[in-house]
Amino acid sequence: MSRSLSIFGATGSVGEQTLDLVRRNRADWNVVALTANSNVAALADAAREFAAEVAVVADERHLDDLRDALAGSGIEAAAGRSALCEAAARPVDMTVAAIVGCAGLGPVMAAIEQGGTIALANKEALVSAGEVMTAAVDRHGATLLPVDSEHNAIFQCLQGGELADVRSITLTASGGPLRLVEDLSAVTPEQAIAHPNWDMGAKISVDSATMFNKGLELIEAHHLFPVGLDRIRIVVHPQSVIHSMVEYRDGSTLAQLGPSDMRVPIASCLAWPARMDTPMAPLDLPAIGEMSFFAPDEARFPATRLAREAAEAGGAAPAVLNAANEIAVAAFLDRKIPFSRIALLVEDVLNQGDLPSPPQTLEDVLRVDEDARALAMRMLEPA
């Protein structure tokens, strides 16, 4: 019996890998909605291949191109932020939320309000709107399944266990491509996105290089697995074989191991609570040989410290941190600021005056996000 599925961010890295798994298990899935930011050609091709009901492009300027690409297919074409939310409001068995950044917050909330199952690959949404989102999940009876490899690993290690029995949670970090680079001020975008283990989009790759990715994941873990911030740790594990660990009060530590391929955690979510086949080869532990672990260097990579401080402050602080980071990363990728200024800009925005009141609604979160982005943009302007 097939299940209905919508994928938001279908042309990105996670979206494409989700479609690869769906393609390998075509009879199991009925695709309802597919979305992209502006990649009309790839979106239209996917919509036709999987006979989607609707395809949505976030950038309204591309609506006519999408309509032309889907002409004669019977697939509905739409565009814009409201269209994304309307597509997310269509009832489905599972929604894969893979839009990068706070832009994915609206569709995620719309999917939650349907009370379905959301495979969440958009960590920024939970970082910016943690309390608002988790309250909505409880109110509408929705289910959140974490797609991020680290959170999915924790989720798997907690199966059959109780949060009350957890002594600590450890998020592993590869350390990114710059862990051993001495002069971070001279790093180019090409160097920052050249991740040694994972194939990811540019923004996430830069976040990995700065360690903001791990900082955001710490905040996300705090909402998904509320054991207390003091019990959530980060360790650098360059081989990226162990994706995270859970230590229980009896001294047992469970670790989830797997290849550095997002199809493994995506498959875990798609098949949950069962399992499904993937094309991944089994781990060859003798070939791996050794695994190493290091404490994060927060003097050179202060992102994890800033994220923990934002999580401890609570309220609007995580949303401000996320918004400032998105602006800083975009500026770095556009070669407007050096790599070393990304974390400095985020810290400056966080320290600029009083933080806004804690957001209570989605509109509050979006307002905090907009104001923080505007402040970060002003700080980028020459004095």
Annotated binding-site members for Mn(2+): 148, 150, 217
Torsion of CA 294, 299, 303, 309, to 10 degrees: 100
DSSP characters over 134-196: HHHHHHHT-EEEE-SHHHHHHHHHTTT--GGGEEEEEEEE---TTTT-S-GGG--HHHHT--S
Residue list for the binding site for NADPH: 11-14, 39, 122, 124, 201
Continuous segment of H or E residues that includes residue 94: strand 94-97
> In this structure, how many other beta carbons lie within 10 angstroms of the beta carbon of residue 67?
18
Residues in the chain, overall count? 383
**Could you tell me how far CA 312 lies from the centroid of its own chain?**
21
Rounded to 5 degrees, φ, ψ at 143 are: -125, 125
Residue list for the binding site: 11-14, 39, 122-124, 148-150, 174, 195, 201, 208, 213-214, 217
In contact, 96 and 111? CB cutoff 8 Å? no
Of the candidates 13, 374, 379, the residue with the CA atom closest to the CA atom of residue 193: 13
Residue list for the binding site for 1-deoxy-D-xylulose 5-phosphate: 123, 149-150, 174, 195, 208, 213-214, 217
Of the candidates 248, 232, 210, the residue with the CA atom closest to the CA atom of residue 312: 232
In contact, 238 and 254? CB cutoff 8 Å? no
Of the candidates 173, 154, 148, the residue with the CA atom closest to the CA atom of residue 241: 173
Question: What token pair was written down for 349?
Answer: 């925005």
For residue 118, give the amino acid letter.
I
Rounded to 5 degrees, φ, ψ at 112 are: -60, -40
CA pair distance 251, 234, nearest whole angstrom: 18
